Structure 1
Amino acid sequence: MNENLTLIWENCLQFMRDNLNAAEDNTDLKKLENSFDLLFDNVQPVSLVSNNLTLLVPSDFYKEYIEDNYLSLLSAALKKNIGKGVKLWYSVMENRPSGQEKPITVNFKGKSIPTPKIQETLPPSFSANLINPFVVPGMKKVNIDSNLKADFSFDNYVEGESNKFAATVAKSIAKRPGATAFNPLFLHGGYGVGKTHLGHAVGLEVKNSYPDKVVLYLSSEKFIQQFVSAAKAHKQTEFANFYQMVDVLIIDDIQFLSGKKSTQDSFFHIFDYLHQNGKQIILTSDKAPVDILDIQERIVSRFKWGLSAEIKSPDFDTRRRIIIDKLSRDGIVLTEDMLDYLASEVKTNVRELIGVINSVIAYSTIYKSDLSLELLKETISKIAANQKKVINIPYIQDVVCEYFGIEREQLLSKTRKREIALPRQLAMYFAKELTNATFTKIGEEMGGKDHSTVMYACDTIKDVSKIDKELKKYVKELGEKIRQ
């Protein structure tokens, strides 16, 4: 082992040993130190390359025990002795494929250091009896249905100011999956803005360019269901082994892992394995990583390793191009005034826009009427009349943000500037007035605020609006916009 690395590691151990009792005031320090020494006597640093530190541990148990009990302390030690941004990796001895007892060489500061090979192939314990619906039984070679939708390709993805950055990054990843700095790619934004489409587009492009790569798309709900089934059958290892086969993993609505501790633990280890072995990970969420509540800090930190890209609701020009693209594929042409009207009427998201387009086409076909501006207005009017508006907290947030001309991130932030604090209080007030959400739930949706903060906001708006003309005007106009 390189002398510099040895010294660094010894300094890290000493730092941790010195701070063992910081959070354990009632613990016998001697016993704590003995336990610490027994654990870390079997852990060795094997390489430090480009701020990536790899530790050799005897088994997965050691890795998990360190993560669960010493991660914060170890992170502080690494920051002190190496610097910020250190990434921690593990080489597990018991996972080395048979016949590979000889170590490979990793370069550290120009010198050759023998280190055990980090596992890159399917473990010997892999079982064909996978608890997973994507496995085709009876095949000698395991086949996985990528579960990708052919219509969700890059060719059918309309770019605009709201999604151009995310689309550019996605195309870069599709050319070199797992080999760019954008790993993981974390796509976030509101409902129906095209996050899922972009994830599928990457998967389809990878399958087209690299047919041998294993690509898998699934929702987080499906991932959770699979994990629960595997856990009940005591086949968590097979479950993890299955996902270690994947080259490009795309998981939709990752925010639903919130509160699922055991599933989060499994996801964390799968994520680490894939990332460490150069596999591409793409995640979508309706929230930015820091806004996902009740999820392990170590997972949130890994979300930030790659790139987080927001996709916003499409602007007028983008909505107009989406309409033209959709209708041209169905052989339908609208006049300029019809295009402008349709693009101006549906402002929220792409999914709703396409739904309205499909309704207009269906109405025209059923009643055998030529498309006209009058028919368009009549159809949209009927759609609006038959749809009961769903008023929920995200919708209220969108209306408030649009009214005051601020971003959602500002609304959910911790800033106390009046130009942000007032809209935030109004959003809390209307959330309580127009939904069945509790103060606690509203606080969670408003960026993790305490329930007492929400109660104070509601009381403040209610009382001050009685004597403040400007605030009274805000309450009146926002109430009308939210209900309309």
Structure 2
Amino acid sequence: MNENLTLIWDRCLQFMRDNLNAAEDHSDLKKLENSFDLLFDNVRPVSLIENNLTLLVPSDFYKEYIEDNYLSLLSAALKKNIGKGVKLWYSVMENKPTGQEQPITMNMKGKNIPTPKVQEKVAPAFTANLINPFAAAPATPKVNIDSNLKADFSFENYVEGESNKFAATVARSIAKRPGATAFNPLFLYGGYGVGKTHLGHAVGLEVKNAHPDKVVLYLSSEKFIQQFVSAAKANKQTEFANFYQMVDVLIIDDIQFLSGKKSTQDSFFHIFDYLHQNGKQIILTSDKAPVDILDIQDRIVSRFKWGLSAEIKSPDFDTRRKIIVDRLSRDGIVLTEDMLDFLASEVKTNVRELIGVINSVIAYSTIYKSDLSLDLLKETINKIAANQKKVINIPYIQEVVCDYFGIKREQLLSRTRKREIALPRQLAMYFSKELTNATFAKIGEETGGKDHSTVMYACETIKDVSKIDKELKKYVKEIGDRIKQ
């Protein structure tokens, strides 16, 4: 990169940093600066030719975020350091074929030429069977359906921190322009109770508030599967597909449970394609990343990657503290600093468990008509811990393994040798031997009547292969952590 261009770009960045919107206090300004640096650390100037500046950005997300949040500031910086009439171009790394450059142009008013996306067309056979009930009669009002959205799961009630900031930022961007950003689909993944569902609902609520005419639908993948099975039994697959065609924002929770459901996956694939090609927004949540979902069609996994995958991690100490303050403030309860620190340090797993503890603290205080104190908090936490102490036994281990892989316990105990079932079964046997005092024979008996030699082989296989297989090693660690947490 030209040294002069580097100096010009550095001056532009410094100008923007110096002119960030004034925050209410120093801490807010610091967060604003950190966010700015996090974004622009990944942006590089490529060339400046005849007042045409090209910026290299990692993905469409950066282009969208710069346009939405920093365009006017960037425009002023370029005008000051380069001159009037600068034309800004983007070169998006993930959209560049090998050896070719495909810049995206944008004028200084923010109008842009969207990046072309390569998409498969819906199979002709499916297209022939699909009829959009509103295509022939556009004046017909859309059916008023229940969106299944929870009013409490709004952006206002969503506490942001380092663990979820990226996902929340993207979600807010989508809520402003559903289906019109590069984040389609939005694939949210992370452990149990970290706020994936809340964020999906928040987008839906924001869209419904701003666009009451849009059809927003939230449902679990299990509900989607049940609906498909019922439609198939009644020979009403076309009606099932037509219903989903009219949805403007589709939010499906726990998409990993489509694992192993080939017919449902086929239907979901075509619905996904139809909605995506017609500019409708899709939001999916999962307890694991797209590539880690077993027994799901490659073509579906590839579509998960079309938009943006954002991981939400367990909240850190500061975020847990914010959640506590936010939740208690709704009930008019104020804690001292040491009480807040104690609560935030005691519950480290997920948001759902943290809220459960907070509710218990409020209940104990109300029932016993006691003022909240550090001693009362410690006493309450100890009682909760005593009541919720987990018993690690074979059924519990099997439940954790099944939840991790998105399968049913009946499948685990069956005699099928399909890899997507056999591997979880072997892992359940392995952990049953490692974490309980059960004999090989007892483990086999509680795993669908398997022979003790089968259990021995499974334990040895997992132990040996996990030493050299990175994926299996990851499974062993993550499942082990879930069992013990």
User: Shorter-chain TM-score: what band?
Assistant: 0.5 to 0.7
TM-score normalised to structure 2 length: 0.59
Letter in 2 for 1:234: N
| Alignment check: 8 A CA contact 1:396 1:431 kept | no
The reply on whether 1:206 has 2:194 as its aligned counterpart is: no
SS for the counterpart of 1:339 is helix
Q: Structure 1 residues 241 and 390, CA, compared in 2 at 3 Å: closer, same or farther?
A: farther
The reply on whether 1:456 has 2:455 as its aligned counterpart is: no
SS for the counterpart of 1:89 is coil
Cα deviation per residue 1:261-317 (whole Å; 9 max; x = unaligned)?
111111111001000100000000001000000111111111011000000000000
Letter in 2 for 1:88: E
| Alignment check: 8 A CA contact 2:178 2:280 kept | yes
Name 1:88's counterpart in structure 2. 120
Name 1:174's counterpart in structure 2. 175
Task: State how far apart, in whole Å, the 1-side matches of 2:239 and 2:465 are.
Answer: 55
Name 1:242's counterpart in structure 2. 243
Q: CA deviation at 1:453?
A: 8.3
Q: Structure 1 residues 151 and 243, CA, compared in 2 at 3 Å: closer, same or farther?
A: same
Q: CA deviation at 1:390?
A: 5.9
Name 1:103's counterpart in structure 2. none
Name 1:122's counterpart in structure 2. 134
Q: CA deviation at 1:125?
A: 12
Letter in 1 for 2:461: Y
| Alignment check: 8 A CA contact 1:95 1:123 kept | no
Q: CA deviation at 1:160?
A: 0.5
Q: CA deviation at 1:429?
A: 5.6
Name 2:327's counterpart in structure 1. 326
Task: State how far apart, in whole Å, the 2-side matches of 1:224 and 1:94 are.
Answer: 19
Letter in 2 for 1:239: F
Task: State how far apart, in whole Å, the 2-side matches of 1:381 and 1:123 are.
Answer: 61
SS for the counterpart of 2:188 is strand
Task: State how far apart, in whole Å, the 1-side matches of 2:261 and 2:131 are.
Answer: 28
Name 1:286's counterpart in structure 2. 287
* Aligned pairs for 1:334-373 within 5 A: 334-373=335-374
Count of aligned pairs between the two proteins: 320
Q: CA deviation at 1:90?
A: 3.8
Name 1:191's counterpart in structure 2. 192
* Aligned pairs for 1:431-446 within 5 A: 432-434=433-435
Cα deviation per residue 1:317-357 (whole Å; 9 max; x = unaligned)?
00000000000011100111110000000000000000000
Name 2:232's counterpart in structure 1. 231
Letter in 2 for 1:433: E
Deviates further, 220-229 or 194-203: 220-229
Task: State how far apart, in whole Å, the 2-side matches of 1:149 and 1:318 are.
Answer: 22
Name 1:47's counterpart in structure 2. none
Task: State how far apart, in whole Å, the 1-side matches of 2:196 and 2:148 are.
Answer: 16
Q: Which runs of 5+ in 1 are unaligned?
A: 1-77, 80-84, 98-117, 127-138, 398-425, 443-450, 463-474
SS for the counterpart of 1:357 is helix
Task: State how far apart, in whole Å, the 2-side matches of 1:480 and 1:228 are.
Answer: 35
Q: Structure 1 residues 268 and 95, CA, compared in 2 at 3 Å: closer, same or farther?
A: closer
Q: Structure 1 residues 284 and 479, CA, compared in 2 at 3 Å: closer, same or farther?
A: closer
Q: Structure 1 residues 452 and 310, CA, compared in 2 at 3 Å: closer, same or farther?
A: farther
Name 1:381's counterpart in structure 2. 382
Task: State how far apart, in whole Å, the 2-side matches of 1:255 and 1:244 are.
Answer: 22
The reply on whether 1:164 has 2:165 as its aligned counterpart is: yes
Cα deviation per residue 1:42-82 (whole Å; 9 max; x = unaligned)?
xxxxxxxxxxxxxxxxxxxxxxxxxxxxxxxxxxxx99xxx
Q: CA deviation at 1:87?
A: 2.4
Task: State how far apart, in whole Å, the 2-side matches of 1:240 and 1:329 are.
Answer: 42
Task: State how far apart, in whole Å, the 1-side matches of 2:481 and 2:274 are.
Answer: 51
Q: CA deviation at 1:433?
A: 1.9
Deviates further, 426-435 or 239-248: 426-435
Task: State how far apart, in whole Å, the 1-side matches of 2:299 and 2:481 are.
Answer: 43
SS for the counterpart of 2:156 is coil
Q: Which runs of 5+ in 2 are unaligned?
A: 1-96, 99-116, 402-426, 448-455, 468-476
Task: State how far apart, in whole Å, the 2-side matches of 1:390 and 1:206 are.
Answer: 44
SS for the counterpart of 2:152 is coil
Task: State how far apart, in whole Å, the 2-side matches of 1:275 and 1:480 are.
Answer: 37
Letter in 2 for 1:89: K
Percent identity, aligned pairs only? Answer: 80
Q: Structure 1 residues 200 and 302, CA, compared in 2 at 3 Å: closer, same or farther?
A: same
Task: State how far apart, in whole Å, the 2-side matches of 1:251 and 1:438 are.
Answer: 36
Cα deviation per residue 1:95-138 (whole Å; 9 max; x = unaligned)?
699xxxxxxxxxxxxxxxxxxxx987735699xxxxxxxxxxxx
Q: Structure 1 residues 459 and 290, CA, compared in 2 at 3 Å: closer, same or farther?
A: closer
Q: Structure 1 residues 304 and 212, CA, compared in 2 at 3 Å: closer, same or farther?
A: same
Task: State how far apart, in whole Å, the 1-side matches of 2:146 and 2:326 are.
Answer: 29
| Alignment check: 8 A CA contact 1:159 1:167 kept | yes
Name 2:154's counterpart in structure 1. 153
Task: State how far apart, in whole Å, the 1-side matches of 2:244 and 2:480 are.
Answer: 48
Task: State how far apart, in whole Å, the 2-side matches of 1:216 and 1:332 are.
Answer: 35
Q: CA deviation at 1:458?
A: 2.9
Task: State how far apart, in whole Å, the 1-side matches of 2:212 and 2:234 are.
Answer: 33
Letter in 2 for 1:317: D
Letter in 1 for 2:120: L
The reply on whether 1:298 has 2:307 as its aligned counterpart is: no
The reply on whether 1:221 has 2:253 as its aligned counterpart is: no
| Alignment check: 8 A CA contact 1:428 1:458 kept | no
| Alignment check: 8 A CA contact 2:252 2:285 kept | yes
Cα deviation per residue 1:402-433 (whole Å; 9 max; x = unaligned)?
xxxxxxxxxxxxxxxxxxxxxxxx99964652
Task: State how far apart, in whole Å, the 2-side matches of 1:313 and 1:210 are.
Answer: 32
Q: CA deviation at 1:143?
A: 1.2
Q: CA deviation at 1:89?
A: 1.6
